[in-house]
Structure 1
Amino acid sequence: MPEKIKKIGVFTSGGDAPGMNAAIRSVVRACAYYNIECVGIYRGYEGLMEGDFKPMDARSVRGIINKGGTILKSARSKEFRTKEGRQKAFEKLNEAGVDALVAIGGDGTFTGALVFNEEYGFPVMGIPGTIDNDIVGTSHTLGFDTAQNTVVEAIDKIRDTASSHNRLFFIEVMGRDVGHIALNTGIAGGAEEILIPEEDLGLDRLVDSLNKSRKSGKSSSIVIVAEGDKIGKNIFELKDYVDENMEGYDVRVSVLGHMQRGGSPSCFDRVLASRMGVKAVDSLLEGKSGYMVGLINNAMELTPLDNAIKGKTKINLELLRVSDIMST
């Protein structure tokens, strides 16, 4: 650990998420507040190995708090997974006089940061940026709130069509390993069923539930499906099964896809990003390293990167119960 940190590098890696730019802005302005230098590292670990650095000051991040995506770009890097790649990165950082890193991303980003920290003793701090909200050590990751709002808006619009034509819509949302987006947006959007990786509803039970909904007087239905749901091989297989086993519904599929990643970050994500950026810089200047900044009980807390990577988030059982009651 350097006796005194004089220059901090910040980068984004992995999938982009709304709020990343706000976090970059926060890191840069926190550095300016403490009169230390800050450099932006372009294209994640690829740019780290190539020395693709650019000095950033308080004015260089003006007008980005409201923008989705990441001005520093993002890329996935196979080379950084090798010792040779990490050696390149270490040399580039030394050449540029960078003393510490703030890594904004998900578990893949944090895995790279942790290995780099362990091999070279290089100070690192993580900020969780992923819409799936699948990182342990924070109640909310950057982009999760914005993605939920995007999905709910889409559900509301699709419901207009479903109601007009007596249609059953399967709507696929992101969530490869966890169902946080699906569960929350399903409740907020008034879905009849919510399919998530954590709960195996089963095809027969799904059909029974939809039949029950129709008998209760519902002429249209919305089913929210997390992309990692295990009931069928994919959402189109679900559609085919329901087509074969139910009559009277015009079944349609809507895959929201990458639209969930984009868009202007919500107020919540902008504030969260600002808090996380300041906490990351503060923690590095206090001599801490190998941690992720997270929101726990509305306070900024630190979680060891190793715990954040290896831990598994849990679905909210209360929300599952609320979902069952609301679909009555």
Structure 2
Amino acid sequence: MDRTGKYFPLGNHTKLVEFILIGFSDVPSLQGLLFGVFLIIYIFILMGNSLIIMITKVDPSLQTPMYFFLGNLSFLEICYVSDTLPRLLADLCRQNRKISFLACAVQLYFFLVLGATECFILTVMAYDRYVAICNPLMYPVIMNSRLCVQLAASCWTTAILIHIGSTSVVFSSPFCERNEMNHFFCDVPPIVQLVCGDTFIIEMLTFVIAALVVTIPFLLILGSYVKIITNILKLPSATGRAKAFSTCSSHVIVVTLFFGSAIIVYLRPKSTHSKGMDKYFSLLYCILIPVFNPIIYCLRNKDIMVALEKFLQKWIVLRFIHSKNSSHS
């Protein structure tokens, strides 16, 4: 290790022991404002998604496959933002933005696993809507509780296994002396920019995995909705068509936002990548989409709104009884 303690010389390359996340230090006048905004967003994401999980668990009317997967999605969103936002908030309050080699690898691994799992969960949710609309009589039989648990578990397991290898390949590569990453968390594109020598294998592996994790699920979702729309248009009742469309609209909006931003960041040509802009694109799927999800699913779903109203009424009544008993005692 040299005197700075940053790396060990290994021939023409170095073995880094830490990275420096530049984050938003290039706009020092906005550090306080960004901290306040991101903190509010983080609290909102935690509260909004936690509320959805709680409601889907306690309300009997929401004990269906659709809301089971929605609860999984909300849990994913909480984990997803918790992998990046706390670190970003801490970095906005301090000058030392160093992150160890191991911590960076762990952050990247969980970020990729959670992102891939979300792609798979959204695909399973599309399949659920397909069965509900295109084969409603067999829906309770096909989408039984055992299958739902198996589908959710397979989403997590597949993502975990896929990204063990990809993360290992990225971090086993030789790095140059420079260790500054123009990003607010450890993501694949900014890390690859610090690799010495030919990065073709890493880039191809990243592209193939992104295609498998993003493109194939997106095409499956697209195929499901082509069949769903075809069946909805065949319904004789305008009311029935409107109701069928409303059950899918929230999912369609979330899918469009999530996959659209993922394709922009990971599947656009390398020539269009900008070191300064990648971190701003990342804000789309790291922060903004987890904010929109609870809003979209709550405001556009009558069942959740009714369940939320009943839950709040019960909570207010319980608080009133508790305060009344406390005053008498």
TM value normalised by structure 1: 0.23
Instruction: Please report the TM-score for the alignment, with normalisation by the length of structure 2.
Output: 0.23
Which structure has greater helix proportion?
2
